[in-house]
């Protein structure tokens, strides 16, 4: 028995791990996956598999290359150095051979006599050394691939979320391209888990929409009867009350038979997942509540100023990807601010941007764009000089003014457009 | 996990229901001559002298105070040795061989209640100073300095919250001697002329509330209340206790006296009673021996000066762990000592023997559990990032110096990062 000293605290919260947090998100997504497969059949399964596997594979390959390069850059072992020198000598002697002098030939033969033997013994020791090194510090898969984060579910979760935001008709090749780009450009180039600025799933989705959107993403949905989402109908005609004739409230709520992306149609199942996450305290419920609340509030004011029915806010909350984005994407801790007020401002910004993009933008959906835009503001919201853990009188005042301004701007905009 | 992260699992079930073990008669007693606040000392006795219980052996000298060293046993002085102290340093100790007679010193006499009733603040301060009472919750701050305030005090708060996991010594103390606590509280209230006394306990410790409520009826002349507080960490931090028990928010960095409150730990209050009524210094104290690497966790009432090694043996020794930590104090703020050759001092609330777990740190995922948990509303994760960039300006803007080192940020961290260490580093950087 040894007595060791450590700095306080000597206890850690049991069960508080990144793995648990990320696994919880995956578990919360399961009902949506099942629902997507139920509704869209094997297509959905293949898309999800392609999304997850493309992201996981990208990360795996990236870290294998990175680890390999790092190992190369690190101080080389003596044995490796000897092997290299031996090889170099052999090359030099061979070069000398070309001049066809007697001395060079003799030299070469003398060298080659025990070359093979020396080489073999060096190789053997190198192998031995590597084996010993592996035994000493790389005990398990987890440690051997320290930088590869599949074991803590982050990349699987990103892949699942990305897959669930895709429409069911998308070709698998485009899913894979999006997954690779999302994992690589949104996550890995920043330094991997915990360092990324943008939500990889949102980035991948936006990449797919911008690159292939016109060709495929919404093409199948333009026909209002066959497959238009409620949001794309509203994008055509902002105040088309007929939208609720096509989709009644139960349909919007349960998602059964509703066209749209794989995972974002069923409000019911998203809420189930959200409640699970909230009960496990794996996210801060304030974020989705503020986000959805902001969109609801803005659409409610528009409803009053434009004299619309209650269908307008209802469709805006239930109809598009808002619930899915609010529960699963906006709550990603890595790309959110760290203080509670900061997270509330963040979610409010998301709500305003989503609503503005939906009303005035070219695309029917604004959630992923809003998330990427607000991701850029996270460092500003976390700026040391003004980020506070609690609301102060001043911050509440400023925030209320911003809320009022947002409402006014939205309604003025709506007035001019309508 | 991310929100509501101040709930701390308290591991107290095991030892709490057992009666307190009285271990007051070891063969040798080691009396520390130095402590964390006082390094200098003078001695009045020599090797071979026979001392009585409660006799003054010498005086410790701190920067701004002086305290007498009392013998906690009657016996013969055998020499000096070095032992570890709860601050983690080695201190010089005087070895006294116990003669098992417990002959009290002549000065140890009871004061009649009629005399105590005539006492003024100066008299109380004088007694408490002379008996060397310090904050027994672990701070070791001399109590007389607190009591000697010239501010107008309206409330005396007794802190019996004991929010650290594993500890149950205060719990046992209240169950064993509730009357002493109430009497001590009345003395303190009389000393500062306070109109209200509040005893703060955790809501979840129902037995304690029962015991205190039964006792309170005997002190109906006094305005004493029991405040039941929520069970979270660090509820026992003085400012947090004041805020939740009395409703007065004391900002970090100011003294509670300026707000008319005076706070004492519950064991300090019991020792105030002993000092004023029986004229006794701190001879024995309740302490917890607990942890997952000790065989039989229990509460012990031990003489000040007992060797910790003996107490661990008394608890059936260590379990078969390869690596253990021996901690004096709670698991959240206690000091991990490099040997078990420790001596029980007045401020030793507990001895913990924990399995040493080497946590694998993962990258921070900015889950903000630490920000949500922090009792002083600073942002540990951002301070950590500032320390990593050696960004002094940010660390100052983030108010790293407000940290009370409660350890909650490292406790809740989902990536098992030792956040508290980074914040400590930031505090060093700012100094």
> Could you read off the pLDDT of B361-393 as tens digits, one per residue?
888 889 899 999 999 999 999 999 999 999 999
Contact A284 B362 (CB under 8 A): no
B134 or A126, higher pLDDT: B134
Which whole number is the average pLDDT over A237-261? 74
Confidence tier at A226 by pLDDT (50, 70, 90): very low
| Range of weakest confidence among A279-283, B84-88, B212-216 | B84-88
B56 or B64, higher pLDDT: B56
Q: What is the pLDDT of residue B13?
A: 62
Cα B37-B42-B44 angle, rounded to 5 deg:
135
Helix axes A154-164, A172-181, angle to 10 degrees: 140
Rounded-to-integer distance, Cα A327 and Cα A332, Å: 9
| Range of weakest confidence among A217-226, A279-288, B226-235 | A217-226
Q: What is the pLDDT of residue A62?
A: 87
- Please give the share of chain A, as a percent, with pLDDT higher than 90: 38
Q: Where are the domains of chain A?
A: 75-144, 219-247+283-418
Q: Is A33 left (phi over 0), alpha (psi -120 to 50) or beta?
A: alpha
Question: What's the DSSP call for residue A226?
Answer: T
The interface pTM score, or ipTM, of the predicted complex is: 0.87
Cα of A330 vs its chain's centroid, Å: 11
Which residues does chain A have within 8 Å of residue B408's beta carbon, measured at their own beta carbons?
9
> B404: Cβ–Cβ under 8 A, 6 or more apart, which residues?
B234, B237, B252, B375, B376
Query: How far does the CA of residue A333 sit from the closest CA of chain B (Å)?
Result: 5
Q: Length of chain B, please?
A: 431
- Residue ranges with strand state E in B267-411: 284-290, 298-303, 323-328, 335-337, 350-355
Which whole number is the average pLDDT over B336-352? 90
Residue B39 burial (10 A CB sphere; 0-12, 13-18, 19+): middle
The 3-state DSSP class for residue A195 equals coil
Q: Where are the domains of chain B?
A: 13-107+282-355, 113-278, 369-430
Confidence tier at A249 by pLDDT (50, 70, 90): confident
Residue A374 burial (10 A CB sphere; 0-12, 13-18, 19+): buried
Using the predicted structure, report yes or no on whether residue A130 has a pLDDT greater than 50: yes
A242 or B27, higher pLDDT: B27
Overall fold of domain B113-278: Rossmann fold (3.40.50)
In three-state form (DSSP H/G/I as H, E/B as E, the rest C), the secondary structure along B303-326 is ECCCEHHHHHHHCCCECCCCEEEE
Q: What is the pLDDT of residue A393?
A: 93
Distance (Å) of CA B126 to CA A35, B131, B133: 77, 9, 11
Query: Mean pLDDT, chain A, as a whole number?
Result: 83
Confidence tier at A142 by pLDDT (50, 70, 90): very low
Query: How far does the CA of residue A269 sit from the closest CA of chain B (Å)?
Result: 22
Query: How far does the CA of residue A135 sit from the closest CA of chain B (Å)?
Result: 18
* A-B Cβ pairs (cutoff 8 Å, strict): 168
Which of these, B324, B331, B322, lies nearest to B288 by C-alpha position? B331
Confidence tier at A125 by pLDDT (50, 70, 90): confident
> B280: Cβ–Cβ under 8 A, 6 or more apart, which residues?
B54, B108, B131, B274
Confidence tier at A327 by pLDDT (50, 70, 90): very high
- By Cβ distance, the residue of B336, B339, B414 closest to A21 is B414
Question: What's the DSSP call for residue B401?
Answer: G
Q: Which of 201-240 (B) contact A at CB < 8 A?
A: none
CB-based contact (8 Å) between A354 and chain B? no
Contact B324 A192 (CB under 8 A): no
Contact B2 A281 (CB under 8 A): yes
| Range of weakest confidence among A70-79, A132-141, A261-270, A339-348 | A132-141
Mind listing the pLDDT tens digit for each residue in B153-188? Answer: 999 999 999 888 888 889 989 988 999 999 999 999
B71 or A222, higher pLDDT: B71
Using the predicted structure, report yes or no on whether residue A77 has a pLDDT greater than 70: no
In three-state form (DSSP H/G/I as H, E/B as E, the rest C), the secondary structure along B7-23 is CCCCCCHHHHCCCCEEE
- By Cβ distance, the residue of B1, B331, B334 closest to A281 is B1
Rounded-to-integer distance, Cα B305 and Cα B31, Å: 5
Query: How far does the CA of residue A59 sit from the closest CA of chain B (Å)?
Result: 16
- By Cβ distance, the residue of B363, B411, B421 closest to A12 is B411
Rounded-to-integer distance, Cα A295 and Cα A232, Å: 17
Contact A338 B369 (CB under 8 A): no
> B334: Cβ–Cβ under 8 A, 6 or more apart, which residues?
A8, A10, B164, B327, B328, B350, B352
Farthest-apart Cα atoms in chain B, separation: 66
Cα A171-A359-A314 angle, rounded to 5 deg:
85
Residue of A nearest to B392 (CA): A384
Q: What is the pLDDT of residue B320?
A: 87
- Sheet harboring B196-202: ordered strands across? B224-229, B196-202, B155-159, B261-265
Q: What is the pLDDT of residue A126?
A: 80
Cis amide bond preceding A9, omega within 30: yes
Which whole number is the average pLDDT over B183-204? 92
- Tokens representing residue B25 in the block: 């008669």
- Substitution target from A10, A187, A274, A344 for chain B, most B beta carbons within 10 A: A10
Compute the 3-state secondary structure of chain A and give helix, strand, coil in percent, each to the nearest 5.
70, 0, 30
Q: What is the pLDDT of residue A224?
A: 38
Q: What is the pLDDT of residue B89?
A: 85
Question: What's the DSSP call for residue B134?
Answer: B
Distance (Å) of CA A14 to CA A20, A314, B359, B412, B413: 11, 41, 11, 9, 10
Can you name the residues that pair with B307 across neighbouring β-strands? B343
Q: What is the pLDDT of residue B243?
A: 92
Mind listing the pLDDT tens digit for each residue in A24-61? Answer: 999 999 999 999 998 888 989 999 999 999 999 998 88
Using the predicted structure, report yes or no on whether residue A234 has a pLDDT greater than 90: no
Residue of A nearest to B385 (CA): A384
Which residues does chain A have within 8 Å of residue B364's beta carbon, measured at their own beta carbons?
194
Q: What is the pLDDT of residue B37?
A: 80
- Tokens representing residue A66 in the block: 């990175």
CA dihedral B96, B101, B106, B111 (to 10 degrees): 110
Which residues does chain B have within 8 Å of residue A283's beta carbon, measured at their own beta carbons?
2
Q: What is the pLDDT of residue A137?
A: 53
Residue of A nearest to B367 (CA): A333
Contact A8 B366 (CB under 8 A): no
Residue B368 burial (10 A CB sphere; 0-12, 13-18, 19+): buried
Question: What's the DSSP call for residue B360?
Answer: P
Which residues does chain A have within 8 Å of residue B2's beta carbon, measured at their own beta carbons?
21, 281-284, 333
Query: Mean pLDDT, chain B, as a whole number?
Result: 89
Query: How far does the CA of residue A71 sit from the closest CA of chain B (Å)?
Result: 21
Using the predicted structure, report yes or no on whether residue A218 has a pLDDT greater than 60: no
Using the predicted structure, report yes or no on whether residue A260 has a pLDDT greater than 80: no
Which whole number is the average pLDDT over A254-280? 87
Confidence tier at A149 by pLDDT (50, 70, 90): low
Q: Length of chain A, please?
A: 418
- Please give the share of chain B, as a percent, with pLDDT higher than 90: 46
Q: Which of 164-183 (A) contact B at CB < 8 A?
A: none
């Amino acid at each position: 028995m040894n007595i060791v000293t450590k700095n306080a605290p000597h206890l850690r919260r049991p069960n508080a791990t990144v793995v648990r947090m990320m696994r919880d998100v995956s578990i919360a997504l399961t009902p949506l996956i099942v629902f997507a497969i139920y509704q869209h059949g094997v297509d959905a399964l293949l898309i999800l598999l392609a999304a997850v596997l493309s992201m996981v594979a990208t990360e795996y390959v990236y870290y294998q290359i990175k680890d390999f390069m790092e190992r190369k850059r690190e101080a080389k072992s003596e044995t490796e150095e000897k092997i290299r020198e031996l090889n170099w000598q052999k090359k030099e002697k061979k070069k000398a051979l070309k001049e066809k002098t007697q001395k060079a030939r003799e030299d070469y033969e003398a060298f080659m006599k025990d070359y093979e033997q020396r080489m073999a013994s060096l190789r053997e020791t190198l192998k031995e050394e590597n084996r010993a090194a592996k035994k000493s510090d790389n005990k398990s898969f987890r440690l051997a691939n320290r930088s590869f984060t599949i074991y803590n579910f982050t990349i699987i979760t990103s892949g699942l979320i990305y897959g669930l935001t895709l429409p069911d008709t998308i070709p698998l090749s485009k899913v894979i391209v999006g997954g690779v780009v999302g994992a690589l450009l949104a996550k890995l180039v920043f330094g991997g888990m915990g360092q990324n600025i943008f939500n990889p799933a949102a980035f991948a989705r936006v990449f797919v929409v911008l690159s292939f959107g016109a060709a495929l993403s919404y093409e199948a949905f333009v026909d209002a009867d066959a497959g238009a989402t409620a949001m794309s109908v509203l994008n055509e005609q902002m105040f088309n009350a007929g939208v609720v004739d096509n989709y009644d409230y139960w349909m919007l709520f349960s998602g059964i038979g509703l066209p749209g992306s794989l995972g974002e149609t069923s409000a019911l199942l998203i809420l189930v997942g959200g409640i699970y996450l909230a009960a496990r305290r794996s996210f801060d419920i304030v974020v989705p509540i503020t986000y959805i609340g902001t969109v609801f509030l803005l659409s409610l004011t528009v409803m009053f100023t434009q004299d619309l029915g209650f269908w307008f806010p209802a469709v805006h909350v239930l109809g598009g990807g808002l619930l899915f984005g609010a529960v699963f994407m906006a709550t990603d801790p890595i790309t959110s601010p760290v203080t509670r007020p900061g997270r509330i401002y963040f979610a409010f910004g998301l709500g305003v941007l989503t609503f503005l993009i939906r009303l005035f933008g070219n695309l029917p959906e604004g959630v992923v764009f809003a998330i990427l835009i607000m991701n850029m503001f996270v460092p500003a919201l976390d700026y040391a000089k003004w980020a506070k853990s609690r609301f102060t009188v001043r911050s509440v005042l400023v925030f209320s003014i911003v809320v009022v301004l947002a409402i006014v701007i939205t309604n003025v905009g709506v007035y001019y457009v309508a | 996990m991310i929100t509501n992260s101040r709930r701390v699992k308290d591991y107290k079930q095991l030892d709490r229901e057992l009666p307190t073990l009285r271990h007051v008669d070891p063969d040798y007693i080691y009396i520390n001559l130095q402590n964390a606040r006082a390094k200098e000392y003078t001695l009045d006795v020599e090797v071979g002298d026979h001392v009585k219980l409660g006799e003054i052996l010498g005086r410790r000298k701190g920067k701004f105070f002086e305290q007498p060293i009392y013998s906690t046993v009657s016996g013969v002085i055998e020499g000096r040795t070095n032992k570890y102290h709860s601050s983690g340093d080695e201190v010089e100790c005087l070895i006294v061989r116990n003669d098992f007679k417990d002959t009290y010193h002549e000065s140890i006499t009871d004061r009649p209640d009629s005399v105590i009733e005539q006492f003024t603040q100066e008299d109380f301060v004088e007694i408490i100073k002379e008996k060397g009472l310090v904050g027994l919750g672990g701070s070791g701050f001399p109590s007389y300095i607190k009591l000697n305030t010239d501010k107008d005090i309206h409330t005396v708060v007794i802190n019996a919250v004991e929010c650290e996991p594993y500890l149950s010594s205060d719990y046992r103390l209240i169950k064993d001697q509730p009357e002493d606590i109430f009497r001590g509280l009345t003395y303190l209230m009389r000393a500062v002329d306070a109109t209200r006394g509040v005893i703060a306990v955790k809501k979840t410790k129902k037995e304690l509330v029962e015991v205190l409520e039964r006792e309170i009826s005997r002190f109906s002349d006094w305005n004493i209340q029991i405040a039941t507080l929520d069970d979270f960490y660090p509820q026992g931090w003085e400012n947090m206790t004041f805020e939740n028990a009395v409703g007065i928010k004391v900002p970090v960095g100011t003294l509670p006296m300026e707000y008319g409150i005076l706070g004492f730990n519950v064991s300090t209050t019991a020792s105030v009673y002993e000092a004023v009524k029986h004229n006794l210094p701190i001879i024995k104290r309740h302490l917890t021996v607990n942890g997952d690497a000790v065989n039989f966790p229990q509460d012990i009432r031990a003489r000040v000066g007992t060797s910790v090694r003996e107490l661990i043996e008394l608890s059936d020794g260590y379990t078969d762990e390869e690596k253990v930590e021996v901690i004096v104090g709670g698991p959240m703020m206690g000091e991990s000592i490099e040997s078990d050759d420790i001596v029980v001092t007045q401020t030793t609330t507990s001895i913990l023997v924990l399995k040493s777990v080497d946590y694998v740190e993962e990258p921070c995922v900015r889950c903000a559990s630490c920000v949500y948990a922090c009792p002083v509303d600073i942002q540990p994760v951002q301070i950590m990032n500032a320390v990593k960039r050696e960004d002094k300006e940010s660390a100052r803007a983030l108010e790293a110096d407000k940290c009370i080192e409660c350890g909650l940020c490292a406790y809740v961290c989902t990536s098992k990062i030792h956040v508290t260490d980074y914040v400590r580093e930031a505090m060093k950087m700012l100094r």
